[in-house]
Structure 1
């Protein structure tokens, strides 16, 4: 039996259902004693099976799986919230004041789960308090944010402690000098999120202040986990680690004191058994060998635990041994995994949720999507112009799903009218272009140690891509310098000038993958690079109102979906037809992989393997498994010279 949405929300409001939370010493940090209006889930246009499982202590797990410490506190939960009138509000912080409303952190302010669910949340205040244990008094206190969209100014105990720009990236603030040990500490965060308002051209992916068809409701505020932890005076700030098919481990241990090199020790374990230990120094790359490692593949996603010690600091991490490369196989340039051609096939995965928007309701819900894909036989997922919490990539590492990771697009497909009445495309100015490059570096540096990531995408369909200066060449070179272990798809779909490793075609509904024909909105196949179908499919099917994003503007745009099919049977038939066409192109031409649109419906776009609420699967599972396996078999036959 399924509870209806109104009953689920009623239970939430009256009981405050909560998941158990893993906290320092098992005790949740004390929240501000407030008189604000009490938190309750707002009625979203659509719920999921997980809406009623979120509670008031969401996302309790340690959020940074590749650099974990033992002493930490999760600060997620019910915070105070107050809308602000302008960017100047940051000059007058409301220290010690009741902000008037309660909000769930992490969440998007525009979502039902936030308890706010309001649009145009351009300027916002968030407040909570946390206790720093007296036992931490000789240590450094590090405050971490998984992601805040878009600019965050952080105050601790009445002092500005930090600032960060970029809505998709983790950042940390050393708050030791502001902290009161053994006492409550006031945390205040001012957030400015312009999305696509005014003249702002920033990385926003598919967010827009005016949702329409393939552009969706924005996400403002603190939308990933907040936590605090303790570390010694010279501590590990980040860990870069990759391991290849030959057993060579490349690592850099970055420390807070960059003026010196400290002794570090790295230990690699397999099921608790030590397989390698190496000693070196911080802040410089080093290499060592693990003999005869078991390799990471989608079929056998083997991972090794890693422990790193530097002075009094100790962190745990993990890695997988695999090599991503490209080379000619029987005269065709192919992507290789561990030296062998791998046909990458996955879905366009946008990571949107009707109850949480950018923030999945629970970790279980987020992983559910990936498990559905894996069960059907997909070996890859394209994370489409969004960056997920790092636990998403951990799940891909564990499940054996390769990841094509997009850089979130700059403001896409919009025009503005000049004073003389001329309409021009909204494109980045030089300063905004430099900022895009800076955030691209953040993307690569923060995620490059996850074994599952195989490809970086710089631009999607020309969105925010300057076409007169060809910036993709310089950006591609920068990505390859930061991470020489992966392939780069410089321009997925449009405006391909020859940069990067892929000749990538987008076409709906039929594929044009490495073929001698192409549509004028994409590019001809370039046989010096990998032939790839970056997007295709997109066939749609309407559903009853209980599975739709119940917003009239979205409902009105349903027929803008690339193709609409009359029934689920017809939808599966059309999917089978299109997958067979792709298989034929694998046999005859130079197709090396493809991305099917898409994992789920999103708002008014109804072309998912599942509905937006994840309650209806459209797929005929046997048919899809057979068709996907046929693609792999066709690719294997080509690589064997057949």
Structure 2
């Protein structure tokens, strides 16, 4: 009888929670909305490149309130919000715009598992946009600024014996601020999209010992059949040891130990190389040993791959993958969702766009002025896709000049604006350093906030010499970095060429096809050129690809087509914004895309 009563109470509680939330608004939505369980939201382990067994997901229905800027915690909250969906999104259950004169308060309660007694408890946020203050049991434990990278606090000293109260305050000025914000603006229109404020990635806790591995830096070297692994250790002491076991499936192929003060180097016999055609990953187990005892252990992985450039027999500087000329071809991927905005409704949805990109015959994605959750990059690593990672733009446009060298001006940023950019760009690179799919860093796009281009490019290259740097995608062009990046809409055009750098077509296409019933803005949508049906749109795409094939031999070493999906008012995607309709003939697109790639790769 007691069991029946308990189950009845659990069922009643679940029904009550569901009744407190539903998607808001009448905009189009993806099919994954139907799979959302408010008691189990984005439940997958959020950091698969460094995984521990003792963790707990805090996503779900929290209290929320929209309050005046710089307020104290409200005594009464406005209602419930589904974390981690941003408050402006349908899936948050709120769908209200906040603005820079207000801020969002969140509140929830959680328990610490009894098996975690005596351990340190880390509170993790995947990403929160933009300035975040955090309280645990009414004690402020820290502040973080930055909208795209994970951060954490050790909350152990502030815990109570029973349930724990977590309060979060977030302020985001969106386009009224100097911070990186990507395509977010207060008044979305055209290529500019709805603001994203507050928590937009998973919130979770994790149990560790006093000494634990904070992060891993993994650097493969296929020329010497080796990989270097640096583990940053919290509270480490001289004499502590890192042990790494390398696995090929269940078979251990190497076991190496080193002091935490050194880089651990592993030699591999005839290593398997990673590529989009064969995305092989080595699994590893990394252990922290102190006084002969294992005090921490994480699961991770790495890939043996190399990205570089080299002049070919015709004098053209080419991108190379694993020391072979390799044409990189893929879509511009904004990473937006009609129901979750920055946040995919499920992990299956997050993975879907990458799978579709592979089906289209591409080998590359340009992640455009947005940074994704860690699981997205792991999906790219496992599925086999190369990634160009943009810095989300911020501040002001300083005048775009794309067709000549040295004609564009640079933005005179304030010292505060410069500081924000430098700190957040470094944080993004630190966060993503060990993901093998990332092969190109893109600090600036089309003159948005572009400043001190040569200095920023050289810093980026020095900070990570293992990848190429595309310093200014689309203009204002300087002879710095590894790549000259041209943008041209709608058809491909090779209107500049650099004999000493890789020349790429960083954006082109934008062929529009509005599909009734699948439009975010039924009466206000656009593409760079628009057609009325799938056949016309596919034919135009194939025509551009045939032009591009000729330009590969003339000098292009990569190309990025706009874009993966429709986004808000833009209707130039391979798919509709709700991902329910493939707008072009997938087989024809895949065939011609592979022909473009093989123009060079064969």
Q: Does the pair score TM above 0.5? A: yes
1:45 is matched with which residue? 27
Can you give the 5+ residue segments of structure 1 that lack an aligned partner in the other structure?
Answer: 1-27, 416-423, 519-523, 638-642
Matches for 1:481-560 after TM superposition, within 5 Å: 481-512=462-493, 515=494, 518=495, 524-544=496-516, 546-550=517-521, 555-556=523-524, 558-559=525-526
What is the aligned counterpart of 1:562 among 508, 519, 528?
528
Instruction: Give me the whole-angstrom Cα distance separating, in 2, the residues matched to 1:225 and 1:536.
Output: 34
Cα–Cα, structure 1 residues 412 and 360, in superposed 2: closer, same or farther, change >3 Å?
farther
Deviation at 1:412, TM superposition (A): 4.7
The answer for the alignment partner of 2:328 in structure 1 is 344
- Aligned counterparts of 1:325 and 1:636: Cα–Cα separation in 2: 15
In structure 2, C-alpha distance between the alignment counterparts of 1:271 and 1:36, rounded to whole Å: 41
Q: Deviations over 1:470-489 (max 9, x none)?
A: x1222222222322211110
CA contact 1:208–1:218 (8 Å) conserved in 2: yes
C-alpha contact 2:89 2:341 (8 A) present in aligned 1: yes
Instruction: Report what 1:6 is aligned to.
Output: none
Q: In the alignment, is the contact (CA less than 8 A) between 2:332 and 2:507 conserved in 1?
A: yes
C-alpha offsets along residues 597-636 of structure 1, whole Å, 9 cap, x if unaligned? 0000001111000111111111212211221111122113
Secondary structure at the counterpart of residue 504 of structure 2: strand
Match of 2:280 in 1: 302
Out of 583, 588, 594, the position equivalent to 2:559 is 594
Structure 2 SS opposite 1:547: coil
1:444-483 → structure 2 map (5 Å cutoff): 444-466=429-451, 471-483=452-464
Check the 8 A contact 1:37/1:101 in 2, yes or no. Answer: no
1:390 to 374, 378, 384: 374
Q: What's the secondary structure of 1:605's corresponding residue?
A: coil
Q: Is the 8 A contact 1:80 1:98 kept in 2?
A: no
State yes or no: 1:582 paired with 2:567: no
Secondary structure of the residue aligned to 1:381 is strand
User: Structure 1 residues 225, 283: CA separation in 2 closer, same or farther (over 3 Å shift)?
Assistant: farther
Of 246, 270, 275, the residue aligned with 2:248 is: 270
Q: TM-score, normalized by length of structure 2?
A: 0.91
1:381/1:36 Cα in 2 relative to 1: closer, same or farther (>3 Å)? Answer: closer
Q: Deviations over 1:2-49 (max 9, x none)?
A: xxxxxxxxxxxxxxxxxxxxxxxxxx9xx99x9999222213411111
- Give the secondary-structure state (helix, strand or coil) at the position aligned to 2:471: strand
Alignment partner, residue 208 of structure 1: 185
Q: Give the TM-score of the pair, scaled to structure 1.
A: 0.86
Q: Does the 8 Å contact 1:44/1:111 carry over to 2?
A: no
State the shift of 1:179 in Å: 1.2
Which segment drifts farther, 246-255 or 75-84?
A: 246-255
SS in 2 for 1:373: helix
Report Cα offsets for 1:339-388 as digits up to 9, x if no partner: 00110000000000000000011111111111111012100111000000
Alpha-carbon contact 2:220-2:227 (below 8 Å) kept: yes
- Inter-partner Cα distance in structure 1 for 2:486 and 2:456: 20
Matches within 5 A, 1:82-231: 82-86=65-69, 88-89=70-71, 92-94=72-74, 97-121=75-99, 122-181=102-161, 183-197=162-176, 200-231=177-208
The DSSP-based 3-state class of the residue aligned with 1:298 is coil
Farther-moved stretch of structure 1 (478-487 vs 279-288): 279-288
Conserved? CA contact 1:509–1:536, under 8 Å: yes
- Look up the match of 2:406: none
C-alpha deviation, 1:568, in angstroms: 1.7
Is residue 253–residue 284 contact of structure 1 (8 Å, CA) maintained in 2? no
Change (3 A) 1:118 1:425: farther
Match of residue 60 from structure 1: 43
Q: Is contact 1:37–1:100 with CA below 8 Å preserved after alignment?
A: no
Mapped to 2, the partners of 1:211 and 1:260 lie a distance apart of 54
Q: Structure 2: 5+ residue runs without aligned partners?
A: 1-9, 290-294, 400-408
Shift of 1:180: 2.1
